[in-house]
Amino acid sequence: MTETRQPISSQKADGARPVVLAADDDKDILELITFRLERSGYTVLQAHDGEEALRLAQAANPSLAVLDVMMPKIDGFELTRRLRADAATSRMPIILLTARGQDADVQQGFDAGADDYLRKPFSPQELRARVQAILGRR
Give the residues lining the site for another protein (CB under 8 A). Answer: 26, 28-29, 32, 35-36, 39, 70, 99-104, 120-125
DSSP string, 66-123: EEESS-SSS-HHHHHHHHHHSTTTTT--EEEEESS--HHHHHHHHHHT-SEEEESS--
According to DSSP, the β-strands at 94-98 and 43-47 are: unpaired
Shortest separation between residue 77's beta carbon and another protein, angstroms: 14
Count CB neighbours of 118 within 10 A.
16
CA-based nearest residue to 16, from 43, 36, 45: 43
Shortest separation between residue 121's beta carbon and another protein, angstroms: 4
C-beta of 53 vs 71, nearer to another protein: 71
Shortest separation between residue 53's beta carbon and another protein, angstroms: 17
C-beta of 77 vs 122, nearer to another protein: 122
Shortest separation between residue 114's beta carbon and another protein, angstroms: 18
C-beta of 4 vs 40, nearer to another protein: 40
